[in-house]
Each structure stands twice: as C-alpha cells, then as structure tokens.
Structure 1
Amino acid sequence: MANNRDLWRLLRLFAPYRWWMLGGALLSLLTILANFGLMTLSGWFLASAALAGLGGWATLNQYNFFLPAAGVRAFATTRVLSRWLERIVTHEATFRLLSRLRVWFYTRIEPLAPAGLQGFRSGDLLSRLVADIDTLNNFYLRVFTPFLVAGLATLLMAGFFALYVWSIGLALFVLLALTGLLLPLLSERLGARSSAEITRIQAEMRTQIVDALQGMGEILTANAAGRVQEQLLQENAALLERQRRLAGVAGIGTAGMSFMANLTLWVILLLAIPLVARHSLPPAQLPMFALGTMAAFEAVLALPLAFQFLGQTRAAARRIFEIADQEPLFPDAPKPLPEPANFDIEIHDLHLRYPEAPEDALRSLDLQVRQGERIAILGATGAGKSSIANLLLRFYDYQAGSARLGGQELRDYPGDQLRQYFALLSQRSHLFHSTIRDNLLLAKGDAEEEELWAALRQAQLAEFVEGLPQGLDNIVGEGGVNLSGGQARRIAIARTVLKNSPILILDEPSEGLDALTEAKFLQDLRRLMQGRTVIYITHRLLGLEDMDRIYVMAEGRVQESGSYAELLARPDSLLHRFAQLGGTLIDS
C-alpha cells in the first residue's frame, strides 16, 4: 500500500477534474459493453436465423428479423460514437490534468528557490518538471481508466451471462478476474524494476545532456567531449537493455492474454454444450456465449500494459513529490505589511550562513543606507558582497542580528512584497529564449507598448530594436545569444527601468564587458540611478566616485566606510592601497 501512496495523492490532486476523468472512463466502459452487446446479439441472431431457416417457411415467416437487426445496428453505432467521444473526453481530461500538475508543481517549487533547490542539478529539475510530469500522463489513460473499466465491465458482462446460466457467468467472472489480475501482476513483478530503472536512466541522461550543453565550452576546452559522449552511450545502452527486457515482459503478457482468452472460450463451451445437448439451453445461445466470451476479453486486454506503466508512473510520481514535499528553508510572512513610510535600510550585528556551509558568509555586519543614498559595497570575491543582495531579496535568511527596511524587520515582509521594492541588475541577469517584448514584460506584465519603448529609450536601445526585422518580437536566443554583451545588458537595464522599484541593487553589472562598452554602459547606469536608492556591489574602483558612501568588506564584515574622497585620502585605508596597486581589481 505504501508503494501506491503517491498514486492516491495524484488522485486527490486531480479531484477538480474528477468528472472529466469519470466521464472518459464511463465512455470507455460504454464502448466495451457496446462491443460485447454487438457480439453476443450477433451470435444469437445469426444462429437463431439459421435455425429458423431450417424449420421451414412457416417458422421463417414467424421469425422477427427486424428487432435483433435494429439491436445490432444500435450496438454498432453506439460503439463507434462512444469510442469517438471517449477519445475526445479522455484526451481533454489528460491535457487538463497535465496542466494542473505542471502549475501545481511550479507553485510548490517556486517558494523553494533559490535556497531550497541548491541541492538539485538544473538538468534534474528540468527532467522532473517536463519529462516526469509527461510520464504521469500515463496515469489516467493507461493506469486509472483500464483498471476501473476492467473491474466494472467484468462484473456487468459476467452478470449478464449469469442471467442465463449462473455457472457460465461465474466461470467468465473467475477467468476474467484471474486474467486481469494474475497476468498483470506477473507482468508488473517481472517489469517493475526495469520500469523504475528506465525512469531513472532517462532522467539521468536528460540531466547529463543539459549539463553538457550548458558546459560545452569547458568540455571542448578540456578535450573531454569523447568522455562525455562515451558516458552517454553507456547510459543509452543500459536504457535499451531495460527497454528490451520490458518488451519481453510485454510479449509474455500478450501471449498469456491470448492463452487465457482461448482457455476461457473452451471452458464456456464445455459448460454450455452439455446444456444444449440436454435441451436445457436453446441452441442459439451457444454462439452467443462463445462470441460474447471473445468480446469480453477486450476489458482486460490493456491490464498487463497498465501494470508496466504503473511502475514508471510510481517512479515519476515519487520524483515529483520528493521535491514538492520539501518545505522552504525559512517561513514566509503570512500577510503583507503596510507600505513603509521610507525605504531606509538598517543592518545591525547580522550573521548569515548558507545551508551546509562551514562558516558564516556575513559576520557581525553593520550597514546603513538612507533613502535616496548611493552606496557601494567593495570587496574581493568571497568577501560577502553578493550575500548582502541575497539577504535583502530574502533569497536566504539570516540567523542572528537585525535587518530592517523602513523600520520593519525584513522577515516580517512576505517575499513577493519585499521584492517589489528592489530591482536587481547583475552580470548574470538572465534573458530567456523568447522575444524582447516577453523579456521586458517579466518586470511588468501589464505594461503598454509605449512603456516598453520608453524603457528601451532610457536604456539607449530603442534605435537598435527599431532596426530589427520583428522589432520587439525579435527572438533574443538562450541567454541573449543573438545579442552582443552590451545589448543584452541594456535589455536588462530596460527591464529594471520598467519595474521602477525605489531601491536598485547593482551586482557587478558591467563585469565581462570590454572597456569601451563598459564606459557607455556605466554612463547609462548613471541615468538609471537618478532618484533611487542605489547599492552598487563591485570588486573594482571604477565608478565609485559617483557613490555617496563606500563600504569596504572582507571576510563577511565591513572593514571600513566613508566617501570615495575620504577613503582615498587615508593612507591606511584598504581603498587607498587598492588604488595604489592599480585600482582596477581587488584580489584579496
């Protein structure tokens, strides 16, 4: 039962669409029953018509051909229509279920990001979000519906036979039940491990492929493409081996199903023929039982395959719920706070440690930023600069001390509300493989087109976008690959302009740009800073002269602070020494 707990959870999750699910299952049941009715009535009709013909003209003239013929047509028409409707309803139900599952899964993992997802590889997350959820597509069509329909159809068809001869009805029920349970259980036992391993290997291969694509430059530089390819080939060989095993199990199930269908037919005939011989059963009912028995096996035909899909579905559901069941590393505030009277930031004696990190990233941190003030946070890699951005955006929680915005503790704000007050522009500002328009609308989903152009003009990119063949609807490529570095950063600036938040965090925004592009980019940033609180995070001295105050950090704490001129004039200051060493890069 524990193995099926995830499947019961899926059923509860799909409860809003239960009528679609049941409607599709009932239409599938109606199709099977219509086929069963068609075959039983046809068998009886043909046999009774033949017997009437043997009885001579008198018997033949008294025989009613029209009523059973109408019944045959009715069953045939019902079978066609119900099959057509069943395809429509079950596929509509499947699409609705997949849509709900994807949205539900995203709403579960979104509060975990980024802290709660650090232990997962990006390729693995993608595999779970796309491939595993697609695998759960099998749950309704190939697991839930076949089991439900097989159970109901077996009871109804065996009950129909029992109305004529109870022993024949009982025999059909027992043999259908054995066929529908023992064979699928055998298939599931033989194929469960292979099914689970197929899901695992496919997920691992997707993860490896995504990692390889993301790190292709490093792989080629290290001349490691051959090793990566060999690893993928080994995984693929293992996958093919499991699929061959599963195909063999499917073959056993199909052969067993054919054997049981023929065995059941023989049993029914052995029970019915003596009754006909003793005149206890009308002769025309013998072919009715025979053809009905053959048609009855349509109900259990899909069960061996359903049990195989059951293993893959369980494995995929387990991987989905493994992430969805995780709780955020820190709780979110339950309700929004009133708009703060000001946007002053006050950090006092604060300690922040990342999960599983051996030591604090921020230690006894004291820092103040008044509304409208421009401050710079200067330090080497690992000094704790970006941890301040993670703190302010509530990507990670602090363990001790105080961090306030507008006099209110940061953790008292819901994350969504807090992040409305901040705009982040960094060297890693991501551009999605979509249009310029879509990338801008991330900042303000209801922005009018004129607002988009105004943001592009402020980012000095409007003329470039106007010259593109599709303008705002031009595709930027994955990570902005179709743009130059400066153009990609300017789209990020335009997105920041569009958000129009009162506090601007600049985290190494010009890193990686050539000197000429960087100079123009920083000039554009000066316009963006006007009228905003600015937190400029950098390990370089370039642009610090525009700041009201500079905090120099090392080992997670502030070592010194002051204006650019004050610190530069002090021979004992770290900034003065950095300037003496060239002023462009802080090593440590």
Structure 2
Amino acid sequence: MTADLLRILGLWRARRGWLAAGLGVTILSALIGAALLALAGQAVADALGGAAVAAAVSFFLLKPLIGLRPAARWAERMVSHAATFRALADTRVWFFRRLAERLPAGIGLRRSGDLLGRLVADVEALDGLYLKVMVPVAAALALVLVVVALLAGHPLLAAAVALPLALALALPFLLAPGAARAAAEAAAAQGRLRAAAVDPLIGIEDTLAANAEGRAGAALAEETRKLGRAQRRLAGRAALAGAAGTVLGQAALLAALAWGLGGGAPGMTVLALFLVLATAETVGVLPRAGTALAAAAAGARRLLEAADAPPPLTEPAQPADLPTGHAIRIEGLCFAWEPDRPPVFDGLDLDLPEGTRLALLGPSGIGKSSLAALLLKLAAPQAGRITLGGTDLASLAAEDVRRRIACLSQDARLFDDSIAANLRIAAPLAPEAALWRALDRAGIGTLVRALPEGLETRCGEGGARFSGGQARRLALARVLLSAAPVLILDEPTAGLDAETERAFLETLEEVTAGRTVILIAHRLTGVERTTRIIRLAGGRALPAAG
C-alpha cells in the first residue's frame, strides 16, 4: 500500500508548488481558528479573574481574526482543490499514455468499462490521499503542537489534553490497513459494475438482437448488489472510525475539565477547553481519513496494475536516425500474438521496393492485419526482422516509423468531434486549406461544403452522422493529410456495398499515386492497379496470379 501511494506522490512532483501551497494555507487557516478560540478563552478567563484590561485587549485582538477566518477557509478550499485537480489531471494523462503504450493493437482481453473505471473512478479516489489525508493530518499536527506549546507551562494538563489528540492523529494510519481489503473489494466491484454497464451498451445492437438485454440487466443488478455490500463494509469501518474520533475528542475535553476540578488554575482550564474545541473540527475528521487512505491505496493499486503491464514492444534507448528511403524488406519473420497461440508468421520473406503497389490477399485470420501491426510497430516479431530504407524497424522510434507509414484500417474510427478535429488527428497544425484539399482528393469535399456548419460539423460517435461510404472517405482524407510515403489500406472497403466499394477503390487508386501502397483484402474487384499480388498461407507469402 505504502509503495503504491509513494509512486502516486512521485507522479505529482510537477505540482509540488500547488500541493505545498494547499498544505500551507490549510495549516494557516487552522492556526487562525485556534488563535480565535484561544483568544476567546483567554478573554473569558481574564474576565472571570477580574482582569478587565487584559480581557479587553483579548477581545480587541479577536476582531481582525473574525474577518480573517472565513477568508482563510475560502483560500484553503480554493488552493487545496486547485492543487488536487491539477495533480489528478496529470495522473489521468500519465495513465492514458501508459495504456496507449500497452494497448496499441486495441483493448484486447481487457474490458472497456473496467478501463474507464480505472481512468475515472480510481483516479478520483486518489483525491482522498491529499484532501482527506495529507491536508487534515498536516493541519491537525500543527494544532496539536500549538496546544502542547500553549499548555507547556502545565505539563500534566498538556499531556492529558495532547495524548487523546495525538492518538486521533495516529488513527488514520492505524485503521488504514484494516480498511484496505474492504476498499480493494469496493474498487474492484466498481470496476466490474462499470464493465457490466458499458460493455453491453457499446454493443447494444447485438445485445438487443440476441434479446440479451434482460441478462445484461440482471448481471448489472448483481454487480450493483456486490458493490453495495463492499461499500457498506467500508462505510461501517468509516462509521466506527468516526465514533472513535468523537470519543477521543471528548476525552481531551474531559481531561481538561478533570485537571481544573482537581485544583488546576481556572484560567488555564478555560484556555485548554477552548483549545480543544479549536481542534475539534480538524481532529474529528481524522479517523475517517483511514478509510480514505485505504480507498486511495486501492485506486492506486488498480491504476498501477494496468499501467505496469508489459508493453508489447520496447522502444530503443537510442533510436536510429530515420533513413531517407522507404523500401520495406521482411526477412525470416516469425510472430505470434501470445506464446500459447499458434504462430501467425513462420519465416515470412517479402520485398517491397519504393513505389510498389502490393495486393495482400487471404482469408480472415491468416495474418494480413497482423502484418500491418508489425509494420506500424504496434507489435514486435519474435524472430526475423523488418527494415525500412535499410534500417531495422526495431532500432527506430515508433513515432518516426508512423511518420513514414500511415494506415487506413477497416474500422477507422471517426470521433464525436468536428470534421476538422477528426482530420487534424493526422496533422494537428494543418491549415484549413489543407483540410479542404484532402477532402476533395478523398471525394467528399462537395458534401462537406454543403453542410451548414462545414468543417465544424460534428461526426457523431463512431461517425454516426455519415453513411459508411462517407465515413470511410473522411477517414481517407485524414490519412491523405499525412505525408507518409507508405500507405497500408487494411480492408478499406469492409462493410460497403459493391457500388460504393468500387467507387471508393477508384478514388484510392487516384489519390495514392506515387506512394508505396499495401492493399490488404480478402479478394480483388478488378479496379485495383497493383504491381504485385501476394497470398498469405501457412505464415508465408506466396505469389498469386494477377
């Protein structure tokens, strides 16, 4: 638990200024509150003792503190929450990047709802590490030290008051290990619940077509019950911790009263009572910080578990310079997606000189898309090598490889954003004129111009605003914005009707002239102008009749 939380704190190093400021303002706010009640207690004690002048001075000093206290509380909330929001934003970006490195070929065996839960709920649980643990513990520690300092002239009173307060200060760390299991169960249950809700909705057409909505609803209800049980166990621990904190606060008050009834100075007794009241708000929430600490640790463990999964390939420590040429050569390539699965390629050899227009044919599962993944450095071969311009792909940075090799996949996705934003994924700085050129070359510029919002038209989730052929042309325009000299067209007409498929392929032939093209397909329609046709079989490349 400790190691995971320390790693999270390490991720927040860039925000240490904000985090330190939040702690500082919180401590200052707590001290102002303590000073306010201490002066009030001193004024009452002086008045009871007949020291009218001293009481008047104390009341006079109270006036500025009365105005400062709410201002300090406002600053405390604003600064500490601003620090938290920035730290959590950094954590989400870090986690996203780690996932992108580890899931280049897609989510695979992971459930999308569970990954969403880790990115959202588990990151949000980390706010408790700062707001519910670090901030109140720092403020409470400062208050306990102030109480001890002000009562130091009476050691017995100081010890009697400070001991229960110090125990309350230690409670979060004493209770967190016991709450860790309940917190881990709650975090896991929340992930399963998100998966049970999101996954059937992602495939809602299949869910409805199979009349499976009832089963999906029952599974969701079951996961909801499991989450409720885990949360009740965690809430029960929080309630017990809160009761323990209340008991300790009351014990500090009773200790001060007992000291006064036992013959202690009335003025010091009143001051001690007011000081204990000053700490009550901050110290009272500390025991619940134990469950917050456990929840943060559970969230951290789930994040790091996914983020630390081994990446499918390792980037070179010292990447080679990108070669000037872009001829591709594959030598003795052996590859399997998993060690316990049969190999996709077993000694594959293939030469693609610059300007080649290759048609790569074969049935589903034969390895066509796997070859595209290898060329894009989304996966790494177990043996053999691939060279680009004579340089081993393994020695090149993936980012550089993808500057030379672009891909239009069979499930190229349009995101729920504007047409312009979807196109600029390939070229973030592309001017509007370049976007229009790409749209015109892809054969869809006229349609986009006719839309009321033009380039600012939203595509809808998964490109739902457009037909299959229109969405494919928009995806093609995005690829054309790239200056990559090598284009992989992975089943680019999948799901299109025959007429749309033929028109789209004719467009492809026109706009890809001059580039190396690898067309991956089940079959050819007759409009493709290829220089070579290769059929994949048994993990090897076999010539096919033209």
TM-score (norm 2): 0.95
- Distance between the aligned counterparts of 2:414 and 2:528, measured in 1? 30
* Matching residue within 141, 145, 148 for 1:158: 148
| Corresponding residue to 1:178 among 136, 151, 167 | 167
Which residue identity is paired with 1:101? T
| 2: CA distance, partners of 1:236 / 1:109 | 27
CA deviations on 1:141-174 (whole Å, 9 max, x unpaired) are 11221222222321222221123x1211111111
Give how far 1:286 is off. Answer: 2.9
What corresponds to 2:234 in structure 1?
246
Structure 2 partner of 1:167: 156
Question: Is the alpha carbon distance of 1:529 and 1:543 closer, same or farther for their aligned partners in structure 2, counting shifts above 3 Å?
Answer: farther
Distance in 1 of aligned mates of 2:305 and 2:393: 30
8 A Cα contact 1:551 1:559, kept in partner: yes
Query: Is residue 70 of structure 2 the alignment partner of residue 87 of structure 1?
Result: no
Matches within 5 A, 1:393-432: 393-432=376-415
Identity, in percent, stands at 38
3-state SS of paired residue (2:466): coil
> CA 1:352–1:175 in structure 2 vs 1: closer, same or farther (change >3 Å)?
same
- What is the CA–CA distance in structure 2 between the aligned matches of 1:412 and 1:51, rounded to whole Å? 84
Counterpart of 2:240, as a letter, is: I
Q: What CA deviation, in whole Å up to 9, does each residue of 1:379-434 have, x standing for no partner?
A: 11122211211111111111222321111111121111011111111221111111
| 111-120 or 285-294: bigger deviation | 111-120
User: Aligned with 1:359: secondary structure?
Assistant: coil
Paired residue for 1:255? 243
CA 1:49–1:264: 2 relative to 1, 3 Å:
same
> Mapping of 1:492-531 within 5 angstroms?
492-531=475-514
- How far is the alpha carbon of 1:287 from its aligned partner? 2.0
CA-CA distance at 1:313 after TM superposition: 0.6
Rounded to whole Å, the distance in 1 between the matches of 2:444 and 2:88 is: 40
Give the secondary structure class of the aligned counterpart of 1:381: coil
Structure-2 change in CA distance of 1:485 and 1:545 (3 Å): closer
Q: Which residue number corresponds to residue 35 of structure 2?
A: 37
CA distance in 1, matches of 2:325, 2:272: 85
Give yes or no for the alignment of 1:473 onto 2:460.
no
User: 1:480-516 deviations in whole A, cap 9, x for unaligned?
Assistant: 1111101100111100110121011111101110122
- Aligned-partner Cα distance in 1 for 2:13–2:369: 44
Q: How many angstroms apart in 2 are the aligned matches of 1:321 and 1:158?
A: 41
1:67-94: CA deviation from partner (whole Å, max 9, x where unpaired): 2122212332332222111111101111
Q: How far off its partner does 1:371 sit?
A: 0.8
1:367 to 333, 344, 350: 350
Matched residue type, 1:120: R
What displacement does 1:285 show? 3.3
> CA 1:87/1:545 → structure 2, altered by over 3 Å: closer, same or farther?
closer
Residues 342-361 of structure 1 deviation map (CA, whole Å, 9 limit, x = unaligned): 22111122211212342210
Distance 1:124 1:246 in 2: 21
Asked if the contact 1:437–1:452 (Cα under 8 Å) also holds between the matched residues in 2, the reply is yes
- The unaligned stretches of length 5 or more in structure 1 are 53-58, 562-566, 569-588
Q: Confirm whether residue 130 of structure 1 aligns to residue 128 of structure 2.
A: no
Amino acid across the alignment from 2:472: R
SS at match of 1:275: coil
Shift of 1:187: 5.3
1:125/1:46 CA distance change after superposition, 3 Å: same
CA distance in structure 2 between the aligned counterparts of 1:254 and 1:329, rounded to whole angstroms: 46
Q: In 2, are the aligned partners of 1:34 and 1:76 still within 8 Å (CA)?
A: no
Residue 423 of structure 1 aligns to a residue whose secondary structure is strand
- 1:363 match: secondary structure: strand
Output the CA distance in 2 between the equivalents of 1:97 and 1:51. 51
State the distance in 2 between where 1:410 and 1:267 align.
74
Distance in 2 separating the partners of 1:383 and 1:99:
42
Change (3 A) 1:260 1:343: closer
- Cα 1:494–1:307 change in 2 (3 A) is same
Contact 1:17 1:96 in 2 (8 A): yes
Structure number with bigger Rg: 1
CA distance in structure 2 between the partners assigned to 1:426 and 1:543 by the alignment: 21
* Cα separation, 2, equivalents of 1:244 and 1:150: 28
Q: Which amino acid aligns with 1:354?
A: W
Q: Answer whether contact 1:384 1:555 (CA < 8 A) is retained.
A: no
Select between 376-385 and 485-494 the one with higher mean Cα deviation. 376-385
Provide the rounded CA distance (Å) in 2 between the counterparts of 1:444 and 1:398.
29
TM alignment of 1:156-555, pairs within 5 A: 156-163=146-153, 165-182=154-171, 184=172, 188=176, 191-276=179-264, 281=265, 283-543=266-526, 545-555=528-538
Structure 1 residue 200: Cα displacement = 0.9
Conservation of the 8 A alpha-carbon contact between 2:249 and 2:283: no
1:517–1:194 distance in 2 versus 1, CA, 3 Å: same
- 1:24 equivalenced with 2:39 (yes/no): no
Q: CA deviation at 1:115?
A: 5.5
Structure 1 counterpart of 2:196, which letter? Answer: Q
Give the partner amino acid of 1:109: L
SS, match of residue 496 in structure 2? coil
Distance 2:303 2:528 in 1: 51
1:72 is aligned to 62
Amino acid at match of 2:135: T
Find the residue that maps to 2:351 and give its secondary structure: strand
**Is the 2:44–2:55 Cα contact (8 Å) retained in structure 1?**
no
Root-mean-square deviation (Å): 2.1
